[in-house]
Structure 1
Amino acid sequence: MEKSPGIANADPNRWKALVFIALAQLMVVLDATIVNIALPTAQQDLGISDGNRQWVITAYALAFGGLLLFGGRIADLWGRKRTFVVGLIGFALASAIGGAATGEAMMLGARALQGVFGALLAPAALSLLAVMFTDAKERAKAFGIYGAIAGGGGAVGLLLGGFLTEYLNWRWTFYVNIPFAIAAAVGAYFVIREPGGARNRSPLDIPGVVLSTLGLVALVYGFTRAEHSGWSDGLTVGMFIASAVLLAAFVATEAKVKAPLLPLRVLTERNRGGVYLSLGLAVIAMFGLFLFLTFYLQIVRGYSPVETGFAFLPMTVGMIVGSTQIGTRLMTRVPPRLLMAPGFLVAAAGILMLTQLDLDSSFVGLIMPAQLLLGLGMGTAFMPAMSLSTYGVDPVDSGVASAMVNTSQQVGGAIGTALLNTIAASATTSYVSARAAGAADPRLLELQGMVHGFTTAIWWAAGILVVAAAIAFVLINSGRPDMGSSGASGEGAGDEVKVPVVAH
């Protein structure tokens, strides 16, 4: 196969292209959280039942998570620039439909459509970076910016969602995507020059598409259903069993077909496998924390939507500093595992601080420094993880390798929200039940129980991050990127010292 061309760096527009790729990535990431704050108001306006409310989130997650591998393969087959622009235009149209929704069906359809076009857009964006930036130092800078956005976009979504909901109305959480998408699509069309020789023109693996899509949809739906129906619910268990069977059949199919949707060489190379696994675990912890802090600040402390959004700014600042200052500066100097493992451990230290939450914890004394540590650690780890996930991959596979990063994050987000929320709810119920008889103030007991549930789940989140750090340290064995050819590619590169080192 043709290797990474290296001459892509001769394109003088690559840094301009990065602006539009980053803009599109910000839109996709913040859309995973921006709707959350607006959901109560939208539910009331559109008459969505409590039972169907979760589908506003789930419809997006299922379409996005289920179709990511297919979207990555389309980018390899059809061309990354074309897929990127089509994804942006489609996302803008879906957002317009969501903002104009007049009822439940129209809203849910728009969210699913956003997920479909997001699944085209996200892997195309990352794979464009992979094929356009092959020089080690430039790659470090480009992925530093991308990693900061991928990590901090969720917190930005909470802030923007709070502003739009409080000062305009919930419909603007959809309409705000339109200028983002149009600007990125127009800029990308005129600026991006995709390197030649990076197209994969093999016939589409239809059985792989069907099995992977159904398997991932079943997995994501199983976790989202478990959150509100319980882990022993018959349909929840059935979804997990179906997912296991479908994904096993998918792996067996990919090992046999001539032109697989996901070449197993992309998945089994130890460095990329370590990235996918450790990053997925880290996202479990991070998305769970987003959920708990949002509830703590709004319900326990009485923050408004805008105040809640501002309260997440320390995490965003930490992400940006960790990614662009620490990760970017060190990525060409140390092996990636020496950034990822310590980064996850620093993030775990920040999360551990939040196990001390109580009803009147100081924001400045506890919550802000905890967020800063979490952001610094995640930003430092995300950037080399994003870069390593596509480095050393043949250009014809870069789209599907990029999709695997997004898939690990999407599945991690679904697992984190469901698993940690279930742990928190169970701990809250036990706490309240044990103290209900002698409670003088039932409302106070309810709040105390809620905080107890949050801190119990936060201990689990910290443990998961420690496991992510261990996996990154053990599995990822690539050396410094400047110790080998900057454009080196090819499977098995992780065994040489060539490979260098990022949503609901």
Structure 2
Amino acid sequence: MGRSKWGVLYIMSAALFIMFIDTTMMNVSISALVRDLDTTVSGVQSAITLYALVMAAFMITGAKLADIWGTKKVFFRGLVIYTVGTLMAAFAPNLLFLILGWSILEGIGASMMMPATVTYITKAYTGKDRAFAFGVWGGVGGAAAAFGPIIGGFFTTYITWRLGFFMEAIIAAGIFYGMKMLADYRPERKIRLDVAGAALVGIGLFLLTLSVLIMDPLTNPPVLLLMVLGLVILWAFWKYEKRLKAEGKDVLVDIDIFKSRVFTSANLVSIFFQMTLAGIMFTVPVFVQQYLHYNAIQTGFVVVPLSIMMFIFSMGGQRFAKYLTPKQIIQLGIVLTFIGLYLLLRVLKPGVTGSDFALGLAFYGTGYGLIFSQITNLAMMGANPEQQADASGIFNAQKQFGLSLGTAFIGALLVLGVIHSITRQIYESGVFEGSREQIKEAVIRWILKMQQGELTIPPQYHEVVKHIVNVSFIDTMKTSVIFMMVLLVISALLSFLLPKGEKAVQ
């Protein structure tokens, strides 16, 4: 009974696990990849960026393929492409093979598999079972992202980073074996792929995500130009789809889905919350590595409280449904995550240790788990049965974009914060003759040289520089946490648009 009832959930959770652990596991292995593949840090970072871009460009089209080929066929083909990609990455002799396998093939495979996981859970379960299944699904994905640094750090430190890709291939083999439990949801009628629509939305999302990922306050890349261009192309896509629908032709996305207040508000709540998750998963590791000088494994253990509580409450969040509506559970989750960030803010002072983050991260993980026990199910309930593939594609694209947006914004905030703090400290000390703007320009040149490894600090200034930099890390981390708290307030305000009752009504 247990195996047959929850078999679909096991398979979909395993698929989500390998897709979510992929990037976070490799983020701590950059130095090893540079050494083993005889490449550069920027080359590896380009591979990571391209993976996100490929997923963004193909996610909505990947979801639509379920209406054309059938959900099982899309999931199977996506898994084949993903497995080939991960094996290529595992055996990669150079950066080109890594990019082809990891960034391109895995990205395409993931864009086909991820929406299918949402569709399968939506169709396989109903009522409380569906809410529980989405809670587990979200918890597994979140835990995979959080535990990735520990697993990647262990493999890289003691064995090889290649083992991470081999692990994904082994899990994929288990998914292949379990696919006999999956129903074959075939399309009710023959649908043509809207190629022009797929090209427009793919290019638009690619440019929009690229504009976010290349955000760098020190080098001023053409972020605004790419962002505007991406938005213009997405607007053209919207108008094009609207015209096709009016003519009764097959569309890539049924834009009427956004008329559902439930679906639209759930996506808005989610995207702002995803930005805070990206911020936590970016700032905490950077801080403990740069300020406390933790290694990859130690850094991974710092976020363990978040991972554990996230997983527990994602699975157990449905128990709260006896006393609270889904809307109230989500709002409770936002309150708990806000408290978690406040507790992080309180401990950010000289002398802070990794263990001081535990309580704040535990509260954040609890709130995240509660939100994700409800939000995906609520969003999907806002879509009609014939809109399920469109809804899953949009929801997953929104999640990926939210993560990219949060990482980029908060990453830029960290850089600007460090520059501002160092400038302020030097200016107030009076040791440097010149205006505040001149000091700022000197600090920017200093940071750029430091990034390029061209800066040498005389020994007599080491302690002074260390003190200034450490103070700047504390100041900037506080600013980043406050920014994330503001994002949570926006998410909380948007949550009032969610339906009041236990059942989502369009």
TM-score using structure 2 length: 0.88
- 2:480, 2:2 → 1: CA distance? 48
Q: CA deviation at 1:268?
A: 2.8
Task: Tell me, in whole angstroms, the C-alpha distance in 1 between the residues paired with 2:322 and 2:194.
Answer: 37
Alpha-carbon deviations, 1:389-434, whole Å to 9, x = none?
Answer: 2125333321221111211111011111110111111111111122
Assess, with a 3 A threshold, how the Cα gap between structure 1 residues 229 and 433 changes in structure 2: closer, same or farther.
closer
Relative to structure 1, is the Cα distance of residues 91 and 211 closer, same or farther in structure 2, using a 3 angstrom cutoff? same
In the alignment of these two chains, the number of paired residues is 467
Give the structure 2 partner of residue 422 of structure 1. Answer: 412
Q: Once the 2 structures are TM-superposed, how far is the Cα of residue 260 of structure 1 from its aligned partner?
A: 1.7
Q: Name 1:379's counterpart in structure 2.
A: 369
Distance 1:23 1:185 in 2: 11
The one-letter code of the counterpart of 1:132 is: A
Percent identity between the two aligned chains? 22
What aligned pairs does 1:73-222 form with structure 2 within 5 A after superposition?
73-110=64-101, 111-134=103-126, 136-188=127-179, 190-195=180-185, 199=188, 201-222=190-211
Structure ranking higher on relative contact order (CA contacts 8 Å, 6+ apart)? 1
Moved more, 70-79 or 121-130: 70-79
Pairing 1:477–2:499 present: yes
Equivalent residue number for residue 458 of structure 2: none
Q: 1:462 aligns with which of 479, 485, 494?
A: 485
Match of 2:252 among 247, 254, 261: 261
Which residue of structure 1 aligns with residue 230 of structure 2?
243
Cα deviation digits, residues 62-117 of structure 1 (max 9, x gap): 00111110010012221111211221221111011112222222222222221111
Q: Following superposition of structure 1 onto structure 2, how do residues 43-62 of structure 1 map, counting pairs within 5 Å?
A: 43-62=34-53
Contact 2:33 2:44 in 1 (8 A): no
The aligned residue for residue 441 of structure 1 is 464
Q: CA offsets, 1:268-291, max 9 Å, x none?
A: 311111111111111111111111
Deviation at 1:42, TM superposition (A): 0.4
Q: CA RMSD in A?
A: 2.0
Whole-angstrom CA distance in 1 between matches of 2:218 and 2:292: 28
Structure 1 distance, partners of 2:338, 2:67, is 36
**Which has the higher mean CA deviation after the structures are superposed, 462-471 or 138-147?**
138-147
Quick one: structure 1 residues 359 and 201, their matched pair in 2 at CA, closer, same or farther if it must change by over 3 Å?
Answer: farther
Give, in angstroms, the shift of residue 478 of structure 1. 4.9
User: Following the alignment from structure 1 to structure 2, what is the Cα–Cα distance between the partners of residues 11 and 401?
Assistant: 29
Q: Unpaired runs of 5+ in structure 1?
A: 1-9, 482-492, 496-504
Which residue, out of 332, 335, 346, partners 1:342? Answer: 332
SS in 1 for 2:362: helix
Contact 2:263-2:383 at 8 Å conserved across structures? no
1:359 shift after superposition = 4.0
Distance 1:17 1:209 in 2: 29
Q: What amino acid is aligned across from residue 406 of structure 1 in structure 2?
A: N
Separation in structure 2 between the aligned mates of residue 186 and residue 397 of structure 1, nearest angstrom: 29
Query: Is contact 2:263–2:382 with CA below 8 Å preserved after alignment?
Result: no
Instruction: Report if aligned partners of 1:78, 1:199 keep a CA contact under 8 Å in 2.
Output: no
